[in-house]
Each structure stands twice: as C-alpha cells, then as structure tokens.
Copies of this chain bind each other. A is one copy, B any other.
C-alpha cells in the first residue's frame, strides 16, 4: 500500500512549476520534481502520467467540468446562462492562493513552443467539449459552435487578466466582465451592416 501523502498533488505541482521557471521545462526531470517536493518518483507517477501533465492536467479537468455543468444546468437555462455557470464553476480552482501557480504556468507555456501548441490544442478540445455539451441540450449546431468559441475566449481572457502581474480582482468578477463584453460585441457583429454608410 502506498503511504498517503497529504497534498501530494499540489506539492508536486508547486515543485514542478517552480523548477520549470527556474531551470526551464526541458531541463527539469521527474526525479528533481519529486525531490523538490520531498516525495518519491513513484508518488509523482501516481498523480501524473508525465511532467507535461503537470502543466495540462488542469486544462483537461476544466473541459470535463465545463461540459458537466452545461449538461446539468436546469432545462430553462439559456446558452449564455450555461456559459456563465461553466465559467463560475471553476472559480474554486482560480483562488488567490493559486494565483502564483497560475502565473508560473502561464510563463512556462508562453516561453515554450511545444507547450504553447499543446495549450492551443487543449483550448480546441475545450471548445469541442462545450459545443458537444450544448448540442446535448438541444442547442443548434451553429449556435453551439459559436457559443463554445465565446466560452473559450471568455475563459482565456479571464485567465490572462487574472494572472496579470498587476491584477487584484477575483477570477469570477473578471470572467463575468469578459463574457459580458463578448456578448455585447456578438450583438453588435450580428446587427451591423456589411459595409457601413
């Protein structure tokens, strides 16, 4: 039986991101991450398949969570209401205590071409997950696709603003503003003439 390690996952995450920032993602080994966290390599592999999963495991959970919340929203909830509920549901991950981790994660993915591409793919999967969940509610295909892109844009905008060095506003407030802005722009794009007078 493996010994139970309190907060092992978060300790590994913190150790890994600190090392990625200090030494670079490629130069950091799983052994070094486990060592920095005061845990063993086998504990690492109980929580993560590889070091890339430390960076992206959260994005996969995000897609699952968004889809679950959208599918589970009361029947009368509108599409915008579903997006709001999805964005709000992940607020417990984006707490002030985890802001430094999120900033490190952002710095690591931005600096590394392969991770940046992986991030784009994860966002494409997030969009697919939101779109599929909306279609399951009976929302038409075109609306589902567009709303999914709006959901991803609201999330990426909120995440970028929340992790901005000078920011002290909470994630939920930022996410609400981001979605509201996008919906305003969507309304304008829907009604403007093809060529203005």
Please report A residues at the B interface, Cβ cutoff 8 Å.
Answer: 74, 76-81, 84, 117, 120-121, 123-124, 140, 142-143, 145-147, 149-150, 153, 157, 181-197
How many Å lie between the Cα of A196 and that of B73 in the bound state?
Answer: 12
A76-B195, A183-B190 known; 20 new pairs, CB 8 Å cut-off, are A78-B194, A79-B192, A80-B194, A81-B196, A84-B194, A120-B120, A142-B157, A146-B149, A146-B150, A149-B150, A150-B189, A183-B189, A186-B186, A186-B187, A186-B190, A187-B187, A187-B189, A187-B190, A188-B190, A189-B190
For A181, the chain B residues whose CB sits under 8 A away are: 142
For the complex, what is the distance from the CA of A143 to the CA of B194, rounded to whole Å? 15
A157 to chain B, nearest CB (A): 8
For A187, the chain B residues whose CB sits under 8 A away are: 186-187, 189-191
User: Which residue of chain B is the closest to A84 with respect to CB atoms?
Assistant: B194
Residues in chain B near residue A193, CB distance under 8 A: 78, 80-81
**Which residue, of A76, A123, A194, has the highest number of chain B Cβ atoms within 10 A?**
A194
Of B81, B117, B157, B189, which contacts A80 at CB under 8 A? B189
- Selected from B79, B190, B195, the residue in CB contact (under 8 A) with A77 is B195
Are B79 and A189 interface neighbours, CB within 8 A?
A: yes
A143 touches B76 (CB 8 A): no
Interface centre among A74, A143, A146, A183 (most CB of B within 10 A): A146
Cross-chain pairs A/B with CB under 8 angstroms, 9 sampled: A80-B189, A81-B196, A120-B120, A120-B121, A145-B153, A186-B189, A186-B190, A188-B190, A190-B190
Instruction: A157 to B80: give the CA distance in the assembly, Å.
Output: 22
Contacts of A183 in B (CB 8 A): 189-190
